[in-house]
Amino acid sequence: MDCQKCACKPATVFLTTVVGGDLKKIDLCEECARSSGAIHPTGFVAADLILQEAIQTVIPRTTACPACGYTLETLQKTGRLGCGVCYEKFSAPLQAALLESQRDLVHRGKRPARKRATREELEQEMQHHIARENYEEAARVRDRIAKMKSCAMAKPEPS
């Protein structure tokens, strides 16, 4: 097996790590491993340094958004995107960063207790559950809507 960096010497250093649920492997010759900082002078392997280099070869830092010219490097420095097209252009690194910092790509939190859902919001939520074929949750929301209707009917309107 040849070195993935220079492709002229046999690989003797094999690094494997998991990044955002993806298995990343890189095979290097000893010289390339030392020059990239993957091998510390004490003989230990510095996997983080070589991993960053491997990720950069997969997603070049010079990649720019076709609409606004924003680069991945600028995104990583500022933490902001330049335009709506950037979300599509940089979707892979954005998803990797989100998965590193939180459990999932979709927020699944609950509505704050102090805010009561309107009937329209509950109906939208019920339609969402039906579309996802989550019928048990849709039935719970349906029951809440029915309870909301019955409570509204029981209260006399102010005159």
> Is position 28 within any domain?
yes
β 22-28/13-19 pair status: antiparallel
**Distance of alpha carbon 98 from alpha carbon 79, whole angstroms:** 12
Q: Structural domain of residue 90, as residue ranges?
A: 61-105
Tokens of 138: 């849709």
Same domain for 126 and 95 = no
Q: Is residue 159 in a domain? A: no
Q: How does pLDDT run across 38-85, given as a tens digit for each residue?
A: 665 555 554 455 445 544 544 555 578 889 988 888 877 787 888 989
pLDDT in tens, 86-99: 888 888 888 887 77
For residues 73 and 50, membership in a common domain is answered with no
Model pLDDT, residue 51: 47
pLDDT at 108 over 70: no
Indicate the pTM of the whole model. 0.33
Query: What confidence tier does 137 reach under pLDDT thresholds 50, 70, 90?
Result: very high
Local confidence band at 29 (pLDDT 50, 70, 90 cut-offs): confident
Q: Are residues 54 and 65 in the same domain?
A: no
